[in-house]
């Protein structure tokens, strides 16, 4: 979700109750499920829902990471650890109240990393929101020891320029394997913010020694756009001043950056010195939000978060090419546009809906992904044919009561199940039964940080 710097952050669109009674431009009333009602395609079943734990009930859920039999769910108020050893009986193991949006999460061994892009009075879990105009304010990355799942321990805070809206974990390579790197994506600088000065246009790289995580520190701040990014295109949500999200494919030494007004490819063979190798813009994209490679690394799906996550853009008025996915083939190092994908299930004009976070479903020889669409729910998409992507399954709820914002923030496939992080309703567990996706059940993963992609083959995982 789009962030605005300072004390506050944007929230999902809120409409009045009267708006619910207005004729919908985008959908016929008969097409909209009743408030809160779950609907799915015939091949998708809703296995479980686990409400948010005490202490985090009033703040919204965000991203998810997985390791072993556990799921780690971020929340604007902290994070929770879930036991998913029996997905149909998923349960909360523990939760940590530690406010600071967005609290996107990545996990590696006994360490959990969280991103904070909300300026705070200090780096503690007792901090309060404080303007970025105050020099002493803090935002950046928090590191927790999760060796005891019932009792996580706060290890270290690392301040980064303009905070860390999202973070991407990059394992070291060769002799550097005892370290991991965190790419902190941030943006929206201001001359009034001492630690977030324009033009910014860079990322912060934090090196974490795995044997001494308390020694984590910023080791580089490479400028992605030394000559400036896309700032003048009509319809941009914000001009480029950094990246919103970066997805790495460490085995292939490549990364894809969704950078506000630009989509880019990086060479990350030198982990602390990523180099831009390709760059593209799109007149239909308002905000390059996230990226997903296919398994062979020959395609990238970029998402456009039109409306910043708060807009009702899944309607006829917005159309199929905005607030959508854009599918690119990678040819000779270039990004070649092939098509758009957007859910065709029109949502009510009170429902915030736009392309958001997703992951691959590991089917050999196919390109299939699951993706969140806020109140558009969860979509399963086959993009094997880059020019003709098709939705093959879905899950969604009817509108939130009184026109409130909400929906699924992230939807990821892990070891046979789909997990969706819902703003208000907690953690949803789904299962898809379809000949096109069934082969994925033989792929077992030890860990899944979606922004850190690894190759798969049937019967093997990473």
Q: How do the pLDDT tens digits run along the chain, 462 residues long? A: 765 444 332 333 222 222 323 333 334 556 899 998 999 999 999 999 999 999 999 999 999 999 999 999 999 999 999 999 999 999 999 999 999 999 999 999 999 999 999 999 999 999 999 999 999 999 999 999 999 999 999 999 999 999 999 999 999 999 999 999 999 999 999 999 999 999 999 999 999 999 999 999 999 999 999 999 999 999 999 999 999 999 999 999 999 999 999 999 999 999 999 999 999 999 999 999 999 999 999 999 999 999 999 999 999 999 999 999 999 999 999 999 999 999 999 999 999 999 999 999 999 999 999 999 999 999 999 999 999 999 999 999 999 998 899 999 999 999 999 999 999 999 999 999 999 999 999 999 999 999 999 999 754 444
The secondary structure element, H or E, covering residue 244 is none
CB atoms within 10 A of CB 142: 25
Task: Print burial letters for 230-262: b (CB count within 10 Å at least 16), e (below 16).
Answer: beeeeebbbbbbbbbbbbbbbeebbbbbbbbbb
Q: Enumerate the β-bridge partners of residue 46.
A: 430
16 CB-contact burial (10 Å; exposed 0-12 / middle 13-18 / buried 19+): exposed
Measured CA to CA, the distance from residue 306 to residue 309 in angstroms comes to 7
Contact 348, 32 (CB under 8 A): yes
Overall fold of domain 17-448 = Methylamine Dehydrogenase; Chain H (2.130.10)
pTM for this predicted structure: 0.93
Rg of the chain (C-alpha set): 20
Structural domain boundaries of the chain? Answer: 17-448
Cβ partners under 8 Å of residue 298, min gap 6: 329, 330
Measured CA to CA, the distance from residue 138 to residue 162 in angstroms comes to 9
């Amino acid at each position: 979700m789009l962030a605005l710097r300072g004390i506050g952050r944007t929230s999902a669109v809120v409409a009045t109750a009267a708006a619910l009674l207005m004729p919908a431009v985008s959908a016929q009333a008969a097409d909209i499920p009743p408030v809160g009602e779950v609907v799915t395609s015939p091949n998708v079943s809703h296995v479980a829902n686990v409400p948010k734990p005490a202490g985090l009930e009033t703040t919204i859920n965000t991203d998810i990471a997985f390791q072993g039999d556990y799921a780690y769910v971020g929340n604007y108020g902290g994070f929770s650890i879930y036991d998913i050893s029996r997905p149909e009986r998923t349960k909360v193991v523990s939760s940590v109240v530690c406010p600071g949006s967005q609290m996107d999460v990545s996990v590696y061994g006994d360490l959990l990393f969280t991103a904070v892009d909300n300026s705070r009075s200090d780096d503690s879990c007792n901090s309060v929101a404080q303007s970025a105009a105050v020099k002493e304010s803090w935002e950046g990355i928090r590191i927790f020891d999760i060796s005891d799942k019932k009792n996580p321990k706060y290890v270290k805070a690392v301040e980064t320029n303009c905070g860390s809206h999202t973070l991407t974990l990059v394992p070291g390579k060769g002799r550097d394997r005892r370290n991991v790197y965190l790419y902190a994506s941030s943006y929206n600088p201001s001359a009034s913010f001492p630690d977030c000065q324009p033009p910014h246009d860079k990322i912060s790289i934090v090196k974490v020694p795995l044997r001494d995580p308390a020694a984590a520190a910023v080791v580089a701040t490479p400028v992605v756009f030394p000559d400036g990014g896309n700032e003048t295109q009509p319809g941009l949500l914000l001009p480029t001043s950094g990246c919103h999200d970066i997805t790495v494919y460490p085995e292939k030494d490549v990364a894809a950056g969704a950078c506000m007004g630009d989509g880019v490819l990086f060479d990350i063979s030198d982990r602390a010195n990523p180099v831009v190798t390709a760059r593209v813009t799109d007149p239909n994209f308002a905000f390059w939000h996230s990226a997903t490679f296919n398994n062979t690394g020959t395609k990238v799906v970029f998402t456009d978060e039109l409306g910043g996550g708060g807009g009702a853009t899944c309607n006829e008025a917005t159309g199929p090419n905005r607030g959508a996915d854009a599918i690119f083939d990678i040819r000779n190092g270039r990004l070649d546009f092939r098509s758009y994908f957007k859910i065709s299930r029109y949502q009510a004009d009170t429902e915030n809906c736009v392309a958001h976070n997703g992951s691959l479903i590991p089917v050999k020889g196919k390109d299939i992904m699951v993706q969140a669409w806020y109140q558009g729910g969860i979509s399963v998409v086959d993009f094997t044919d880059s020019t003709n992507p098709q939705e093959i399954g879905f899950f969604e709820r009817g509108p939130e009561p009184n026109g409130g914002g909400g929906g699924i923030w992230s939807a990821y496939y892990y070891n046979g199940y789909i997990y969706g992080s819902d703003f208000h309703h907690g953690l949803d567990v789904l299962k898809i039964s379809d000949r096109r996706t069934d082969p994925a059940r033989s792929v077992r993963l030890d860990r899944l940080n979606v922004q850190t992609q690894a190759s798969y083959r049937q019967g093997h995982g990473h």
